[in-house]
Amino acid sequence: MAKAKATSFFCKECGYESPKWLGQCPGCRQWNTFVEELTAKKEPAAKRGLGASYGNGQGGAGEGGLSKIKPSYLSEISLDEQDRMQTGYEELDRVLGGGVVRGSLVLVGGDPGIGKSTLLLQVCRNLAASGQKVLYISGEESLKQIKLRANRIGTVTGELKFLCETNLDTIEGAISGEKPDVVIIDSIQTMFREEVTSAPGSVGQVRESTNLLLQIAKGVGIAIFIVGHVTKEGVVAGPRVLEHMVDTVLYFEGDRSASYRIIRGVKNRFGSTNEIGVFEMRESGLEEVKNPSEYMLSGRPEDASGAVVACSLEGTRPVLLEVQALITPTLFGMPRRTAAGTDYNRVNVLMAVLEKRCHYELSRYDAYVNIAGGLRMNEPALDLAIVMAVISSLKDKPVNPRTIIFGEVGLAGEVRAVPMAEQRVNEAKKLGFETCILPKTSLDKMRKMEGIRMVGVENIREAISLL
Q: Which residues bind ligand TYD (CB under 6 A)?
A: 110, 112-118, 149, 152-153, 281, 283-285
The residues, ordered by sequence, that sit 6+ positions from 428 with a Cβ below 8 Å of its Cβ are 309, 311, 320, 404, 436, 452
Q: Is 112 among the annotated ligand-binding positions?
A: yes
Residue 202: which of Mg ion, ligand TYD, none does it interact with, CB under 5 to 8 A by kind? none
**With binding defined as CB under 5 A, does residue 117 bind Mg ion?**
yes
Residue 103: contacted member of Mg ion, ligand TYD, none (CB under 5 to 8 Å, by partner type): none
The amino acid that residue 287 corresponds to is E
In whole angstroms, give the CA distance from residue 221 to residue 215. 10
Distance in Å, CB of 284 to ligand TYD, minimum: 5
Closer Cβ to ligand TYD, 98 or 154, answer by number: 154
Residues in the chain: 467
Nearer Cβ to ligand TYD (189/215): 189
Strand partners, 280: 260, 287
Q: Which of 349, 340, 455, 462 is nearest to 405 (CA)?
A: 455
The residue among 149 and 300 lying less far from ligand TYD, judged by its C-beta, is 149
| Residue 5: Cβ within 10 Å count | 9
Cα 390 from Cα 463, distance rounded (Å): 12
Question: Is 277 known to sit in a ligand binding site?
Answer: no
Residues binding Mg ion: number (CB under 5 A): 1
User: Is the C-alpha dihedral spanning 136, 120, 125, 141 positive or negative?
Assistant: positive
How far apart are alpha carbons 246 and 455 in whole angstroms? Answer: 46
- Contacted by 112, from Mg ion, ligand TYD, none: CB < 5 to 8 Å by type: ligand TYD
Question: Least Å distance between CB 151 and ligand TYD?
Answer: 9
**Would you say 80 is a known binding-site residue?**
no
Q: Residue 211 binds which one of Mg ion, ligand TYD, none, with CB within 5 to 8 A depending on kind?
A: none
Ligand-binding annotation for 371, yes or no, is no
Q: Is 215 in the site for Mg ion (CB under 5 A)?
A: no
Helix (H) or strand (E) holding 67: none
11 or 224: CB nearest ligand TYD: 224
**Residue 117 Cβ, how far from ligand TYD at the closest point, in Å?**
3
Consult the annotation and say whether 83 binds a ligand: no
Tell me the H-state helices in 130-167: 143-153
Residue 117 assigned ligand-binding role: yes
The sheet carrying 337-340 orders its strands as 337-340, 365-371, 317-329, 307-314, 403-405, 435-439, 453-457
Asked whether the beta carbons of 387 and 354 are under 8 A apart, the reply is yes
Minimum separation from the CB atom of position 159 to ligand TYD (A): 22
Q: How far is the CB of 120 from ligand TYD (least distance, A)?
A: 8
- Ordered DSSP codes for 258-283: SSEEEEEEEEETTS-S--EEEEEEET
Which region, judged by CB under 5 A, interacts with Mg ion, from 110-118, 249-257, 276-284, 317-325? 110-118
Least distance from ligand TYD to the Cβ atom of residue 426, Å: 34
**Contact residues for Mg ion (CB under 5 A)?**
117
Residues annotated in the binding site for ATP, as ranges?
A: 110-117
